[in-house]
Structure 1
Amino acid sequence: MSLFRKSLASFGIGAAKVDTILPQDALIPGQPLPVEIEVQGGATEQQIDNIHLTLCCRYLEEVASGRGESEQRTEKVPQVCRLAHWSLPETFVIGIDEQRQFTATLDLPFNTPVTIGDAQVWLDTSLDIARAIDPKDKDTLTVRPEPLMDGVFTALEHAGLRIRQVECEAAKGFALPFVQEFEFVPVSGPFHGRWRELEVVAYRDEESLQLWFEVDRRQKGLTGMLSSFLGRGELKRQLTISADLSPEEAGDEVLTFLDRTT
């Protein structure tokens, strides 16, 4: 019977299970990510060689739709990006129905997408078990803007702009294969009637927050920031904000820059 149970466990039947618990409801890029990992033994004793955690997100990439030689069309296809991967060197044997708990503190990468719009971010946890299907757990995350970006969003909101659309789209020239694009529309304030829309792309590192802006004054929409940005040189409106600034100072600097250059 024991051999039979081990055979079933190798196919994932009656095997150990893993569950990751996030003590925080909302996470901030660049800040610690505490996790608690619970391992529940199954119907047979199993050796766990490692615990793996992978931070993932979804982004869109334009690919040829292949609808014929006379028609060259593209469509946006969802892709998965591995933002970060961690391994916990925990080798242990989990007994029948035994429970084990582990804790770890990870660093959430700066450019983890903010989970508004269609942005999706999740944490995959798996147990490394030799010659067996690895038990897995998937936890959807809520990610809020880091302080500098939050200061920029707050300033834009106070100036009468509202977020209309947010997308993670494929891009070249960055550490990640995508950027997150925020589209704003002025509904009141100094830019109402002056702009049709504002598009913002942000990239954060330890030293600074880099921002690219595209303003549309026309009655017809833009072809999109990314179409002009990627592969065709940098946008004309680019601003670098020092990480030493406060969120309020960052917001004020963005408003001053936009008012002066647009």
Structure 2
Amino acid sequence: MVFKKMLGAFGVGAPAVDTVLPNPNTRPGLALPGQVNLTGGGHDVEIERISVSLVTRIEVDGADEEYDAFVEFHRADVSAGLHLREGQELSLPFQIGMPWETPVTDLSGQRLHGMTMGLRTEVSIRGTLDKGDLDLVHVYPLPVQERILEAFGALGFRFKGADLERGHIYGLHQSLPFYQEIEFFAAPQYAHGINEVELSFVTDPHGVQVVLEFDKRAGLFTGGQDSYGRYRIEHGEADRTDWAGVVDGWLREALEQHHAYRGSLGGHSSAAGYPPPGYGHGYDSHAPAYGHGYGGHGHHEEHHDRGPGMGGVLAGAAGGAALGFAAGMVADDIFDGDEEEAETDEE
């Protein structure tokens, strides 16, 4: 995709910029290549810096209400100290590494409803910064992420939506100031105890932490409280197991844990004793096949200060409808012209 924009912040006769992404499809942990094409304007200029950055939209819990904000979460320099002559044409290649925690925006060739991501080019001349237009970026899941998402579809879960929440997941190391939640309506075989499931991935070069939040039905479980499960999967395990069976095991484990706890209360649904001792801190049960699960509250900790081959990413895998996602996935307009509200992540 290409954007072309005169650098209006610098007045009449300013340079023009085209940013080109030969392939806007990528995955976490990969490098996204591109080039910035400059055309000199009506006079010579000294360009102090050219950089590109990844920008996305997140949900923020405000004092009175939730609202959307735009954040820049990763940046790479393209050039610095550049003399651009009148009418001169230059092409500057770049690569920006996608952080391992980059959220997934696309699956099976379709945009996840609620997800937006773009690459922004910034040019600084004489201390004045021009924030260029945004180029849409498509982030496809890593193989292990894709297998788990496919497993939810195979089990009959229906995609509800996806968003980015500002803050950190309790007990996990994160390099980005937000985390992704992918939401599903429960499949019929679990609907007696689960309303919805929210899935989060926290990924690093070696593997991924899978965090599940189960929205329980009131009446069956104590007050209908949510509970959580966390499982560690290595990247190399992507093609070595029956993921539908593993995910089914995670879900049934969550149901069994709450059945067992409700039984320990003598069948009473009083929230006074919830969660049971050990939940949320140090409670571990061996999950079927992989990882460790935990239950209870304390899932999210808010902070208000601030690999694998491409495979089918280039063309996009087919069969979204078969995975149960098609009804909830639509193309999202890129930022709706609000990119100037973006915040810079101060790590």
Q: TM-score, normalised by structure 2?
A: 0.60
Q: Distance in 2 between matches of 1:143 and 1:129?
A: 32
Runs of 4+ in 1 over 6 A off after TM superposition: none
Consecutive unaligned residues in structure 2, runs of 5 or more: 1-6, 106-111, 220-224, 256-347
User: Identity, % of aligned pairs?
Assistant: 24
Asked if residue 153 in structure 1 is aligned to residue 146 in structure 2, the reply is no
Change (3 A) 1:254 1:248: farther
* Alignment map for 1:40-51 (pairs within 5 Å): 40-51=39-50
For 2:178, the equivalent position in structure 1 comes to: 178
2:123 to 127, 132, 140: 127
Query: In terms of mean alpha carbon deviation, does 128-137 or 162-171 score higher?
Result: 128-137
Q: TM-score, normalised by structure 1?
A: 0.78
Give the deviation of 1:9 after TM superposition. 8.2
* Alignment map for 1:63-212 (pairs within 5 Å): 63-65=62-64, 75-115=65-105, 116-134=112-130, 136-172=132-168, 174-187=174-187, 190-191=189-190, 193=192, 195-212=194-211
Consecutive unaligned residues in structure 1, runs of 5 or more: 1-7, 66-74, 221-226, 229-234
Number of residue pairs matched by the alignment: 234
Q: Distance in 2 between matches of 1:93 and 1:79?
A: 35
Change (3 A) 1:165 1:86: same
Where 2:237 maps in the other structure, the secondary structure is coil
Give the deviation of 1:260 after TM superposition. 3.4
For 1:245, the equivalent position in structure 2 comes to: 237
Change (3 A) 1:140 1:47: same
Query: In terms of mean alpha carbon deviation, does 36-45 or 110-119 score higher?
Result: 110-119
Q: Distance in 2 between matches of 1:169 and 1:64?
A: 15
Give the deviation of 1:90 after TM superposition. 4.2
* Contact 2:24 2:136 (C-alpha < 8 Å) held by counterparts: no
* Contact 1:16 1:135 (C-alpha < 8 Å) held by counterparts: no
Q: C-alpha root-mean-square deviation of aligned residues, in Å?
A: 2.8
* Contact 1:51 1:90 (C-alpha < 8 Å) held by counterparts: yes
Give the deviation of 1:216 after TM superposition. 3.1
CA displacement 1:44-103 (0-9 Å, x = unmatched): 1112232111111110111123xxxxxxxxx11222222211112443322222211111
CA displacement 1:196-245 (0-9 Å, x = unmatched): 2211122111122111212234169xxxxxx97xxxxxx64111111221
* Contact 2:18 2:36 (C-alpha < 8 Å) held by counterparts: yes
For 1:31, the equivalent position in structure 2 comes to: 30
Give the deviation of 1:32 after TM superposition. 1.6
Change (3 A) 1:249 1:105: farther
* Contact 2:214 2:228 (C-alpha < 8 Å) held by counterparts: no
Q: Which amino acid aligns with 2:92?
A: F
Q: Distance in 2 between matches of 1:28 and 1:258?
A: 27
Give the deviation of 1:177 after TM superposition. 2.0
Q: Distance in 2 between matches of 1:147 and 1:108?
A: 16
Query: In terms of mean alpha carbon deviation, does 11-20 or 251-260 score higher?
Result: 251-260
Q: Distance in 1 between matches of 2:57 and 2:49?
A: 26
Give the deviation of 1:139 after TM superposition. 1.4
Give the deviation of 1:187 after TM superposition. 4.5
Q: Which amino acid aligns with 2:250?
A: F
Change (3 A) 1:164 1:9: closer
* Contact 1:150 1:247 (C-alpha < 8 Å) held by counterparts: no
